[in-house]
Amino acid sequence: MENTVNAAVMRITRSRTKSLNIFLILLPVRKRFMSIYILGIESSCDDTSAAVLRDREILSNLVANQDVHRAFGGVVPELASRAHQQNIIPVVEQALDRAKIHKNQLHAVAFTRGPGLLGSLLVGASFAKSFALSLGIPIIDVDHMEAHILAHFISDPVKVSDGPAFPFLCLTVSGGHTQIVLVRDHFDFTIVGRTIDDAAGEAFDKAAKIMGLPYPGGPLIDKLGREGNENAFHFPEPDIPGFDYSFSGLKTSFLYFLRDRLKADEQFIENNKADLAASIQRVIVEILLKKLAQAAEKYGIREIAIAGGVSANSRLRNALIDKAGEMGWRVYIPKFEYCTDNAAMIAITGYYKYLRGDYGSQELPVYARSGMKMI
């Protein structure tokens, strides 16, 4: 089919009369029948990632983590951009190798334009722009937060569902963002609630840091929490109007609680690690799901998705399934590799933009903050 359509397109472009018009009419047909190959590049924070996508299928998705930040208890922006510079070429080469795709087969290069760390974003953006320029193909700029959500549309042979039906609500929870997003179509996103201070991922990471665990603490709290009693300790939930969140008060009460207990028993954290992790995890998940349920009621929506790094949390994933039973929701939970930062989500977003002819330009600057519209 691909060859037939190509041949048809070539014959038409050669014809002298009406050639341009007919070519333009057939362009969408060509796009529909040919496989589209997109290279995705993600470098918004501390993971350098490249992925190759054929239509909605991921052929390769490589992530190079940066261990250099561990010693500092958080991401050091300057070190992150230097590590991206070292990683970007080998990661892209390996992504193409694993996908068994030659760079000349690519139709476009999609990259994360923001939000994120400017220095980190610049490395991915500069590489994507020059790579696309050298290949003579379009570049496509992608918003990182939209991409976390659109990861649900990556096709998966073992998954029965083809992604959430519109409109749906997506709880997008990462290290820098916590948002309830109303998604009306692939390009219509409205934030209906968001954190007014710390993100949910930050709440996990800060609680872990207070307990003396290394960065990033979220996955460690998850692991420890599986062995603990989640009702061992109680921490207050914030009282914030609407569908907004707040996590900074919880962090402070966790800090004060431990400070007091440590006065009486300096082994308190060591002796109660699992119970502490399970208890703080329970309250974070409860806060997240309570507002999500309220928003779902208000908007009358039963298609519910989660996305972002914190959507890898096992307690959140299980609690969402329980809530779905209670509320009559259909829920969409990403595969683990598409929760934390990855270039597959950038490639799928690039694919949808490519189909619309929504290309970027060499002049586009990167941006640090999300421009997603709010209700």
Residues that bind Zn ion (CB under 5 A): 174, 341
**Sole binder of ligand KG4 in the list 48, 60, 112, 174 (CB under 6 A):** 174
Is 150 a binding residue for ligand KG4 by CB under 6 A? The answer is no
Q: Segment near ligand KG4 (CB under 6 A), from 122-130, 169-177, 252-260, 267-275?
A: 169-177
Which position's Cβ is nearest ligand KG4?
309
Rounded to 5 degrees, φ, ψ at 184 are: -95, -30
Query: Which parts of 186-225 interact with ligand KG4 (CB under 6 A)?
Result: 201, 204-205, 216-219, 222
Q: At what angle do helices 200-210 and 218-225 cross, to 10 degrees?
A: 70
Per-position DSSP letters for 305-325, written without gaps between them: EEESGGGG-HHHHHHHHHHHH
Q: Is 139 helix (H, G, I), strand (E, B) or coil?
A: strand
- Residue 313 interface partner, choices Zn ion, ligand KG4, none, CB cut-off 5-8 Å depending on type: ligand KG4
Nearer to ligand KG4, 204 or 247 (CB): 204
Q: Which two tokens stand for residue 325?
A: 């039973």
Q: Which two tokens stand for residue 164?
A: 């959430």
Query: Which parts of 11-50 interact with ligand KG4 (CB under 6 A)?
Result: 45
E strand map for the chain: 37-42, 47-54, 57-65, 108-114, 139-143, 168-173, 178-185, 188-194, 303-307, 330-332, 373-374
- 130, 171, 200, 203, 216 from 197: Cα distances, Å: 37, 16, 10, 10, 19
Nearer to ligand KG4, 96 or 195 (CB): 195
Nearer to ligand KG4, 33 or 336 (CB): 336
Gap between the Cα atoms of 242 and 111, Å rounded: 34
Contact 277, 224 (CB under 8 A): yes
Nearest distance, CB of residue 194 and Zn ion, angstroms? 15
**Sole binder of ligand KG4 in the list 60, 61, 195, 313 (CB under 6 A):** 313
- Residue 143 interface partner, choices Zn ion, ligand KG4, none, CB cut-off 5-8 Å depending on type: none
- Residue 307 interface partner, choices Zn ion, ligand KG4, none, CB cut-off 5-8 Å depending on type: none
Query: Which parts of 353-372 interact with ligand KG4 (CB under 6 A)?
Result: none
The three state secondary structure string of 209-236 is: HHCCCCCCCHHHHHHHHCCCCCCCCCCC
Nearest distance, CB of residue 110 and Zn ion, angstroms? 15
- Residue 244 interface partner, choices ligand KG4, Zn ion, none, CB cut-off 5-8 Å depending on type: none
Is 341 a binding residue for ligand KG4 by CB under 6 A? The answer is yes
Give the angle subtended at the CA of 368 by the CAs of 363 and 372, to the nearest 5°: 90
- Residue 201 interface partner, choices ligand KG4, Zn ion, none, CB cut-off 5-8 Å depending on type: ligand KG4
Q: Which residues bind ligand KG4 (CB under 6 A)?
A: 45, 174-176, 201, 204-205, 216-219, 222, 308-310, 312-313, 340-341
